[in-house]
Amino acid sequence: MTGLEPRAFTWVIKGRLAVCERIGGYGIQHRRVRREEEILWLHVQAKINTVVTLLAGAQNVANYQEAGFRVFHEPLVGEYEKEDVDRVFLTLDAALASRSSVVLVHRDLVDDTIAGLLAGYLVHSKLLTDPILAIAIIQEIIGRPLGPEGRALVPVGA
């Protein structure tokens, strides 16, 4: 049994940092069986061992912990201040601190917020120094343009 690949799953940093939609779906689409199948896939196929959830509520946190994932919950709600963005970057730093960490980050959808945060994290972590290049790479990874809300989350001159 290999499970079910989560929707919009893609690697941002191959074998280290991935992104996808909420495990099991969101809203009325959420299904317990689907969640279990996706968790199995994350363990077996992607070798994920750490989850960073950016959902407002603690949905699935207990399920992730029960499945053996290390879990970080950093809720993002409403308008984002610089402090919110910095908090997410520091959480990603902590999640990726161990060389053996394979991290999945998610929200309900792979939207401009999460894409912008990931582009910003590439700059924050100094994997890239050019914010424009970070945005271009994330757009290529997620397969769509990043809007102004997402671009605003990328640090300039970090």
Question: Tens digits of per-residue pLDDT, 64-103?
Answer: 999 999 999 999 888 888 999 999 999 999 999 999 999 9
The closest alpha carbon to 23, from 64, 57, 56, belongs to: 64
Query: Which stretches of the chain drop beneath a pLDDT of 50?
Result: none
The per-residue pLDDT for 7 is 93
Assigned token pair, 94: 């902590």
Amino acid 158: pLDDT: 52
Q: 1-109 domain in CATH 3.30.460.20?
A: no
- Residue 115: name the closest of 78, 86, 144 by CA: 144
- pLDDT given for residue 157 in this prediction: 65
Annotated domain spans of the chain: 1-109, 111-158
